[in-house]
Every structure is written in structure tokens, then in C-alpha cells.
Amino acid sequence: MHEVRSSAKTRELAGKAADKKASLGEDVDLSTYTSDGDKHEYQQDLSGIPSEQRDQMVNVGVTLDDLGLRGGTFLQVDQSVIHSSTSQEGVEVMPILQALETHSWLEDYWWKAVDVDVDKYTANVELAEPSGYFIRTLPGVKSINPVQACLYLGHKNLAQKVHNIIIAEEGSELHIITGCATHPMQPSGLHLGVSEFYIKKGARITFTMIHNWAPDIAVRPRSAAIVEEEGVFLSNFVCMKPVRTLQTNPLATCAGDNSVVRFNSVLVAPHGSTLDTGSRVVLQGRGSRAEVISRAITTGGDIIARGYIQGSAPEVKGHLECRGLILSEELGGVIHAIPELRGELAGVDLSHEAAVGKIAEEEVEYLMARGLTRDEATATIVRGFLRVDIEGLPPELAAELKQAIETSEQDML
Amino acid sequence: MLDIMNLTVEVDGKEILHEISLGIGPGETHALFGPNGGGKTTLLMAIMGFPRYKVTSGRIVFKGQDITGATLDERARLGIGMSFQRPPVVRGVKTRDMVTASIAARGGEGGVDIDRLAQRLNMGELMDREINYGFSGGEIKRSELLQLLAQEPELVLLDEPESGVDLVNMALIGEMTNELLQSGLGCNRTRSGLIITHTGHILDYVHASKGYVLLNGALRCRREALEVLDSIKGQGYEGCVACMR
């Protein structure tokens, strides 16, 4: 079964890279994790999901009570797919293994956006039994309700390995809300997630990902998107809960003319968390555009906020914005913003702004002069800082995103 | 309403105001004149209670209560409100958020119709913009006024409400400032005001009873506001002070 999708070539490349350290982030020793999780039963009506898992899933934006509110639902616990369904015609949601069996052409998308031998994390995803999701909109189909996906890590010390493929066919629209979660008391674990996005001509994907991990979890997502002519890819990433180490640096390539990519990240690092997150966009299509925005707050942990935009075609435009706020004086915490721009020909228009600091006393006093206490003023400013108004995001997803941020804010403040 | 007694204030260890005394009764508005650097803004900031403006001696009494030791936000909730000349940008916080926060902080439901007020101040499109971000001088003035109208303070401190306002907007700002001071919002409180003005244009719209010249950190004269203004226009600050002495 494993051979369904693997060419000898990718297997060979993966084998060679199985111990290859990543270029960024702390090296995670894979030998300390197990690959054998418990097997979990498939749930047709979701009533058998234990309440603690249910709560965590809801916290990352998953709706379990009425699946009709979603265009489709995919739930995975450890390495087991426990539910996969779709409620809109023209929207496909299925376990990746099933998709590989159903669509023989899927090998054309398998490790085509992400290289299998980038590092040991991608290689080990390839070398494992495939799990993860396949989500696709057929040509011209507009996603009415967002599709939801949740990857839940429950087994102690498990290395969860996931390979997802997401395709929006020509002229289609696909909205996805995805949550990665574990129990807040989960002792340890590792999440390796490869996601490959393909946005065809004139198509649009909005992808909102919320991470709620635990203090001893290591996370290494490896994502990439290829956006064709007039395609749009909006990606939002929210990680506000403790996580021991998270390193990710997704790459979007605006391959087609006039394609658009926007990355937004909202990051909070409590004491003991290290987040090394970035977003990269390569503008290859004429007139393509990119915006990379990150908001980073440390309440004691460390954040490296990277951003990279490369202009390789005429009339491209890109803007990077990294803003960081250091909230804790006692617990320390570092924010390291690394915005990078690379222009390869005349006529590209790339810019960035980066700012790191504490909350300006002047702003706190301005609000206090209106009658807010110091704490209320600080909370208002932090809330404003984390507010990302994302152009082009459907109102329903914007509301989900806002709610996820507000829930986490309460813990932080 | 407000009594200031022998107030000495220092900023960053340097004494700026020396033994200032003044009193503003309920319903009275007073005007504060003086050259740049004379200490006018410092006086307003000290009354409002900004921590950097340290009272080293003297007292501030508001509505019969000694507020010399009260914090900035306590004073705001007691009923002192201030318009800022150069307010900071607070990214992500919208004008509407500031206005609702101002109302809430004073515990007010208050019947303030925010959108109607915003419309009257020509602020419609600014309500959902980040506060002060890219605002023109006139927009800042109108936004500050809107926040004060929502906050409904009993003592209004205005720092150069007319500076940077073009002729077309002056009438609007002037009339709304007058409305703010006249407590024309359906409640019967009598508001008091202290206004810093360089040009005196605001006094075309607002009746100020008394005027002061603040020179080198000391209050140098106190008379009918328009008289003081005329005198400054004729003879400059130094001349004005000399004549009044």
C-alpha cells in the first residue's frame, strides 16, 4: 500500500536525507520519539470523541456539533484518521492515502512544492506510513462553508508524521480552517507536517491554521505553495500557546502573472517556548504581489520572526512587516526580526518595516487619560497589536480568527 | 470646580512651574496664554496627572477633593478630560475603540450616540481607522473632541484646539468645543474648561471669562480673557506682563 505513491527516486532521496539536519532551528533528535501511536477508531458521528480531545479541537476552531456548518471535515488523532467527510459537491476531503489510491495523477503533486530531502523532517515523513489529508475544489467550485481539518497529537512521545495536499483547481475557491492541537498536559511529542498547496489559474485558497500545543512539544511544519496566474493564496498562522520548539519557514512561489500571496502570523511565546517562524515568497510571475505580516509577542519566550520576499519578475510588488512586542520585564524573552528582500531586476518594488520594543508608555498614558486603568490600557494596546485585518478573508473566517486570538489573549493578559 | 494652590511642578528633575495658583468655578472657562516653553502644556499635564509631571509642592483640588496624589486614570474617571495636541498613534486600536473605551471607563451608558456625534464632526470614515494613524492636524482635533464628547468630563483641558486647523474646519471645531463646554449633551452638568491658545481664534466661539499669561513657569497676570489677548497682540507677552504688573 505504501508503494502507491512513492517512486523509487523519492524513497531514495528520503533515505539519504533521513539524518540531514535542518538549516534552521534546534536539532530535534528523532530517535527519542516513537512512531507507534495507539490506533483510534473511525467516528462516523463524532460522538465517541473523548471530551478532552473535543475541547482542544474546539479551541483551534473546529466545529464538531454540526458538520453541516463546514464544507468538509477531516480529523486525525495521532496517525489514525478518525473522520473524513464532505458536505459540498465539488469539494473533496479525504485521507491522503485514499486520495493516492483514488487519483493516480496525484503523484504529480507529491513532493513537487516541497522537496523530499530538504531535511530529516521531510525525509522522515516520506519514510513513514502516509497520513494526513487531501483537500481539493474542482474547477470553478466556490467553497461555501470552510473546510475544517484537525491534527491531534495524543499519544505520549509520538512523532506524528503528516503529509497534506491541497489543490484549488482553476477558477475555484477553497477556504480552510485547520487546527493542530494536543492536550495542554501532553508530556511530550513531535509533530512533523508537510503541506503542499497548489493554486491553479484564477483560483483562491484561504488557509487559517491555529496551533495549540503544550510546553514539551516540538513542531516542524514544512509547507510550500505554488500559485498560478491570477491565483490568490492567503495564509494565516496563529500560535499563542506554549510549545517547546517550533520552526517553520513556508515558501510560496507566485509562479503565474498577477498572482497574489499574503502571509499573516500571530505569535506569542510564553516562557520556555522558542518559535522560529518565517514566511518566504518568490515573485516569479509578472505583476505578482506579496505581503508578509507578522506580529510577535514574547511573555518570556524567544521568537525569531523571519520574512523573505524575492522579486524575480517585472512589475512585482512586495511588502514585509515584522512587529514585535516584549511584554515581560522579569521573564526576559527575545524577539529577533529578520526581514529580507531580494530584488533581481529593475522595476521590482519591495519594502519592509520592522519594529521591536515594549509597549510605549505614551500610548498607555493616552488611554489612561480616557479613564482606563493601566492594566486595561495595556490589554487594549496588546489586543490592537494582535489585530490583523486581513484583506480578502471571508467574514466567517475572520470571525473565527478573531475569536481564536481573543481566547488566547485572555490566558496571556 | 478646580482649585490649584501654590503648585510647583518639575519634569525630569527640572522645575518648570513655580507656585501656580488659580481657581476655576463651575461653568467657567479660562484661557491660558504664553510663549512656547512657558509651561502651559506642563500645567495641563500636571492637572491631568501624567506621571512625568511631578508635583513637588502645592495642591490640586477638584470638586472639593484633593487629587494631588491621584493617578492619571483616577482623575479621568473623576471627571477631568484632556485633548492632546500631538496624541500618539496606537496601532490596531481604532477610533471607535477609543470612544467606546472612554464611555465605558466613566461607567457611562450616558446616552451618547457615537455615530451621530461622529457624523456631526465629519468623522464617519475615521471611526474604523487606527487612532491617529495618518490623521491630518484637523482630523486629530476632531478625533480628540469626539473622545471628549463621549467621555463627558466636568473639567475640560484643551491644548491649542485651533492649531493646525484650516479656516473651513475652524468653525466646526469652535462650535463643537463650545458645545462640549456648554454641556449640550442632554445632561445638566455645568462644565468648566481651561484652554491653551496662541492665536485666540477659539475665543471667537467659546466664552472665556478669565485669561492668564504663563511666562517662565509663573502666572503673571489674570484678567478678562479678551483683554489679555488684546494686550498680547499689541505689546507681546513681555509687554503685556509689564503693563499688567
At A271 the pLDDT is: 92
Lowest mean pLDDT among A403-412, B69-78, B223-232: A403-412
The pairing of beta strand B2-11 with beta strand B53-62: antiparallel
Alpha-helical regions (H) of chain B:
40-48, 72-78, 95-105, 114-120, 137-151, 167-181, 225-244
Residue of B nearest to A364 (CA): B90
B12 at interface of A, judged by CB pairs closer than 8 A? no
A2, pLDDT greater than 70? no
Q: Strand, helix or coil at A407?
A: helix
* pLDDT grade for B226, boundaries at 50, 70 and 90: confident
Closest Cβ opposite residue B90 in set A323, A366, A369: A366
Predicted confidence band at B200 (pLDDT cuts at 50, 70, 90)? Answer: confident
**For residue A394, how many other CB atoms are within 10 A of its CB?**
18
Closest to A240 (Cα-Cα) out of A263, A262, A261, A209: A209
pLDDT of residue A163: 97
Are the C-beta atoms of B79 and B155 separated by less than 8 Å? yes
Q: pTM above the 0.90 mark?
A: no
* A368 to chain B, closest Cα gap in Å: 5
B39 to chain A nearest CA, in Å? 19
Residues of B in Cβ contact (< 8 Å) with A293 = none
- Is the CB of A312 inside 8 Å of chain B's CB atoms? no
Residue B76 forms contact with A (CB below 8 Å) = yes
How many Å apart are CA B195 and CA B193, to the nearest integer?
Answer: 6
Q: How far is Cα of residue A405 from the mean position of the Cα atoms in its chain?
A: 15
Alpha-carbon span A378 to A386, nearest angstrom:
12
* CB-CB under 8 Å, B93 with A381: yes
Return the HEC string of A225-255. EEECCCCEEEEEEEECCCCCEEEECCEEEEC
| A79 phi, psi to nearest 5 deg | -105, 5
How much of chain A, in percent, has pLDDT values that exceed 70?
Answer: 97
Q: What is the pLDDT of residue A61?
A: 85
pLDDT for res B179: 85
* Contact between chains at B73 and A384 (C-beta distance less than 8 A): no
Chain A residue at shortest CA distance from B105: A371
Using the predicted structure, report yes or no on whether residue B238 has a pLDDT greater than 80: no
Mean pLDDT of A261-278: 95
Give chain A positions within 8 Å (CB) of B48.
369
Answer yes or no: are the C-beta atoms of B201 and B225 closer than 8 Å: no
Range scoring the smallest mean pLDDT among A296-310, B57-71, B78-92, B184-198: B184-198
Tell me the torsion sign for CA atoms A370, A376, A378, A381. Answer: negative
In DSSP notation, A255-310 reads: -STT-EEEEEEEEEEETT-EEEEEEEEEE-STT-EEEEEEEEEEEBSEEEEEEEEE
CB < 8 Å to A360, chain B: 88
Query: From CA B200, how far away is CA B205, in angstroms rounded?
Result: 10
Share of chain A above pLDDT 90, in %: 77
Q: What is the pLDDT of residue B163?
A: 84
Beta bridge partners of A86: A72
pLDDT confidence tier of residue B83, bands split at 50, 70 and 90? very high
For A69, the 3-state DSSP assignment is helix
Interior/surface letters A180-219, b for 16+ CB within 10 angstroms, e for the rest: bbbbeebebbbbbbbbbbbbbbbbbbbbbbbbbbbbbbbb
pLDDT at A406 over 50: yes
Q: What is the mean pLDDT of residues B29-37?
A: 89
Stretch (H or E) spanning A175: strand A173-182
Distance in Å, alpha carbon of B47 to nearest chain A alpha carbon: 11
Please give the Cα distance from A37 to A78 (Å, whole number).
6
Give dist(CA A307, CA A130) in Å, integer. Answer: 30
Q: What is the mean pLDDT of residues A316-344?
A: 93
Instruction: Confirm or reject contact between A336 and chain B (CB < 8 A).
Output: no
Q: Rounded distance, CA A207 to CA A201, Å?
A: 17
> Which pLDDT score, from 0 to 100, does residue B192 have?
92
pLDDT at B245 over 60: no
Q: How does pLDDT run across A333-388, given as a tens digit for each residue?
A: 999 999 999 999 998 999 999 999 999 999 999 999 999 999 999 989 998 888 87
Query: Does residue A383 belong to the interface with chain B, where contact is any CB pair within 8 Å?
Result: yes
Average pLDDT over residues B80-87: 92
Contact A367 B101 (CB under 8 A): yes
Identify the pLDDT of residue A366. 96
- What's the pLDDT band for B147 if we cut at 50, 70, 90? very high
Pairing, β A147-153 against β A91-95: unpaired
pLDDT of residue B111: 66
Report d(CA B130, CA B8) in Å as an integer: 37
Closest CB to B48 among A363, A369, A376: A369
* Confidence at B236, pLDDT banded by 50, 70, 90: confident
B chain contacts of residue A376, beta-carbon cutoff 8 Å: 101, 105
Nearest CA-CA distance, residue B191 and chain A, Å = 17
What average pLDDT score do residues A101-121 get?
95
Mutation pick from B50, B72, B84, B106 vs chain A, by most beta carbons of A within 10 Å, is B72
Query: How many angstroms away from the CA of A115 is the closest CA of chain B?
Result: 38
Q: Which residues of B touch A369 (CB under 8 A)?
A: 48, 50, 72-73, 76, 81-82, 84
CA angle A113, A302, A23 (to 5 degrees): 35
Among chain B residues, CA nearest to A362: B88
Partner-chain contact B76 A370, CB within 8 Å: yes
Confidence of residue B185 (pLDDT cuts 50, 70, 90): very low
Q: Is B88 on the interface with A (CB under 8 A)?
A: yes
Partner residue opposite B101 with nearest CB, options A362, A372, A387? A372
Q: State the DSSP H helix or E strand holding residue B60, giving kind and residue range, or none if neither.
A: strand B53-62
pLDDT for B244: 52
Taking a C-beta distance cutoff of 8 angstroms, is the pair A303, A277 a contact? yes
| Listed range (A191-195, A403-407, B151-155, B209-213) with the worst mean pLDDT | A403-407
Dig out the grid coordinates for A325 from the structure: 512586542
* Closest CB to B76 among A363, A371, A383: A371
User: Is pLDDT at A1 greater than 50 in this prediction?
Assistant: no
Going by pLDDT thresholds of 50, 70 and 90, the confidence category of residue A390 is low
Distances (CA, A) of B128 to A149, A360, B4, B143: 33, 22, 39, 12
DSSP state for residue A216 in the 8-state scheme: T
Interface membership of B48 toward A (CB under 8 Å): yes
Please compute the mean of the pLDDT values over residues A375-404 and round it to a whole number: 79
pLDDT in tens, A237-246: 999 899 999 9
Cβ distance A367 to B90 less than 8 Å, yes or no, reads yes
Q: How far apart are CA A114 and CA A125, in angstroms?
A: 12
Q: What percent of chain B has pLDDT over 70?
A: 94
Model confidence at A247: pLDDT above 50: yes
| Residues A373, B106: C-beta atoms closer than 8 Å | no
In angstroms, the CA A161 to CA A124 distance is 8
> Would the pLDDT of A5 be above 70?
no
Checking if the pLDDT of B177 tops 60, the result is yes
Closest CA to A175 of A209, A152, A200, A139: A209
Single-letter amino acid code for the residue at A337: A
Q: Do B90 and A368 touch (CB under 8 A)?
A: no
What is the tens place of the pLDDT at every residue in A287-316?
Answer: 999 999 999 999 999 999 999 999 999 999
Q: Do A385 and B151 touch (CB under 8 A)?
A: no
Residues of A in contact with B98 (CB under 8 A): 367, 370
| Angstrom distances, CA of residue B167 to CA of A221, B96, B173, B185, B202 | 58, 26, 10, 26, 12
Residue A380: list chain B partners with CB under 8 A.
90, 93, 97, 101
How many CB contacts within 8 angstroms connect chain A with chain B?
Answer: 72
Q: Does A353 touch chain B (CB under 8 A)?
A: no
Q: Please give the share of chain B, as a percent, with pLDDT higher than 90.
A: 44
pLDDT band at A28 (very low <50, low <70, confident <90, very high): very high
CA A21 to chain centre: 21
